[in-house]
Structures are given as C-alpha cells and as structure tokens.
C-alpha cells in the first residue's frame, strides 16, 4: 500500500500548459487527492471527457473545467490511464498515473490559450484538406484500397469505423476513413494509428469533416515507417467508447 505523504508536500500547486490544436501531457496523481483540469474560463461550450481506465473517473465542471479522481483509495501498484478531452478546436490527451512520489505532483493543470492569435472561434486558418490536396497534385502518390470496417454499439448508437484507403506520399501515410453513427452522431475525440504485433503507436494527426448525414469523413496523416509493415491498426475514440479496425 502507498505510504502516507507529509501534508506540506502535497499542498495544492498549479502547473501551466499551453494549448495547441493537439496537446499531449502527462501528470502524476496521488490517490484521494484528485487532479483538476482548468481551461480558459472565457470559452463557452461543453467540455467532453473520456477515460480509458475504469479505476479513474473524470467529471466535467462548470466554466470549462474538469476533475479526475481515482475510483478507489488503496493501490498496491502504479496505475495509469488516458483522459481524452475536447473543447472547441482543441484536443488534449492526458496520461495520468498514480504514485506516492510528490516530486511531480500537481493539484491543478491550467491550460492557457496560445500566446498569439485570437480566441478559437475567431481563428482563421487554411483547411488541412487543401494542404493535403496540394501535396497530392505535386507528388506521385501510391494508393491502396483497404475497405475494412468494424461496428460497435455505444449505448443506443451504432458506430462504424471504415478504413477506405491508404496513400503513400513522400515520407507520409495518408489514411482515409469514414465514421457512421446512427441514429445520433457521436463526438470524435481522436483517431490513433498503430502498426505491428505488439502494437507500436505511430505519430499522427487527424482531421474530420461531416459529409452527408450520418457520415463523417476523416483523414489521418502518419509518418511513413522505415521498414515494411504487414499489420496496421486504427482506433477511433469517442465520448461513448472506442472502435478498432485492423488490416
């Protein structure tokens, strides 16, 4: 069992993180103390939180905030879990691990807006689709049709992930996917790409745009591996659960 910690060592302290369109951050949490997530209070809209480890709980708070708690107080081992958060155009992947070490402890993660540019609603940027289309015109892509799909029930919604094609352009892999949710749409928190057995995560970014109801078209850009890959995996993360497709 984790040993008691001196009270002075766990005095509430804040850690500041600058937001990007996709932000990855790690945090250490001492059981029973919790971790609060604070976003810029001027932003309106619903904060969506999803947790991958059932030993943790994540709850959205008023005024663009959230709290992460452990589901039980006594731990004999170190536990970790991912907390996926989405607010406006920003997506956050937070890796939370329990520990009795206070060296990296923080009670609050305060996310601040980027230092340049207006608030998210006023940001004007070129669509990633235009950039990818430009690369397609300037390069000689090698395209492979995939047509692999998987469906999972998430409550009353049936969510289907279909990987449609895989295109190699220079040093990148472009994966075209389509998400179908019926009878109601689901909020897409992330699309991750893995390869091999055991799985190895690939550095990737994604962009999704609603096409026609109930479909959403997505594009994932991943760095091309240096060696041949025989097995690929794509995982769709939503506010209700996840769907995996392998090919």
Domains of the chain: 7-115 (2.60.40), 128-246 (2.60.40.1640)
Question: What does the pLDDT read at residue 195?
Answer: 84
Q: Provide the β-strand partners of residue 109.
A: 15, 37
pLDDT band at 161, cuts 50/70/90?
A: very high
Structure tokens at 19: 């937001």
43-58 residue pLDDT tens: 767 788 888 888 888 8
DSSP β-bridge partners for residue 243: 236
Q: Which of 22-36, 44-58, 106-120, 216-230 has the lowest mean pLDDT?
A: 106-120
* Average pLDDT score over residue span 67-95: 77
Predicted pLDDT at 123: 42
Pick from 10-19, 57-66, 146-155: least confident: 57-66
Helix/strand/coil for 107: coil
More confident of the two residues 122 and 214: 214
What does pTM read for this prediction? 0.43
The pLDDT of residue 34 is: 85
| Count of CA atoms in the C-beta half-sphere (13 A) of 17 | 24
- Inform me whether the pLDDT recorded for 1 exceeds 50: no
The per-residue pLDDT of the chain, averaged, comes to 79
Backbone dihedral angles phi then psi of residue 20, each to the nearest 5 degrees: -130, 170
Mean pLDDT of 127-134: 58
Q: What is the rounded CA–CA span in Å between residue 162 and residue 147?
A: 7
Q: Each residue of 163-172: pLDDT tens digit?
A: 998 888 767 8
Distance CA 108, CA 111 (A): 10
């Amino acid at each position: 069992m984790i040993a008691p910690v001196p009270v002075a060592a766990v005095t509430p302290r804040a850690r500041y993180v600058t937001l990007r369109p996709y932000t990855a951050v790690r945090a250490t949490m001492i059981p029973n103390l919790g971790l609060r997530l604070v976003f810029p209070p001027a932003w309106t809209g619903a904060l969506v939180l999803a947790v991958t480890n059932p030993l943790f709980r994540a709850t959205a708070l008023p005024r663009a905030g959230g709290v992460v708690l452990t589901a039980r107080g006594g731990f004999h081992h170190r536990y970790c879990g991912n907390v996926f958060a989405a607010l406006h155009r920003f997506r956050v992947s937070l890796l939370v691990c329990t520990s009795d070490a206070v060296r990296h402890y923080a009670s609050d993660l305060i996310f601040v807006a980027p230092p340049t540019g207006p608030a998210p609603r006023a940001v004007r940027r070129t669509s990633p689709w235009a950039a990818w289309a430009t690369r397609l015109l300037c390069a000689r892509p090698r395209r492979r049709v995939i047509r692999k799909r998987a469906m999972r029930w998430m409550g009353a919604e049936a969510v289907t992930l279909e990987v449609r094609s895989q295109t190699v352009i220079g040093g990148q892999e472009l994966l075209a996917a389509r998400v179908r949710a019926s009878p109601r749409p689901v909020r897409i928190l992330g699309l991750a790409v893995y390869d091999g057995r055991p799985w190895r995560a690939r550095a990737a970014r994604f962009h999704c745009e609603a096409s026609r109801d109930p479909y959403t078209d997505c594009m994932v850009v991943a760095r091309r591996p240096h060696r041949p890959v025989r097995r690929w995996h794509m995982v769709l993360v939503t506010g209700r659960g996840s769907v995996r497709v392998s090919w």
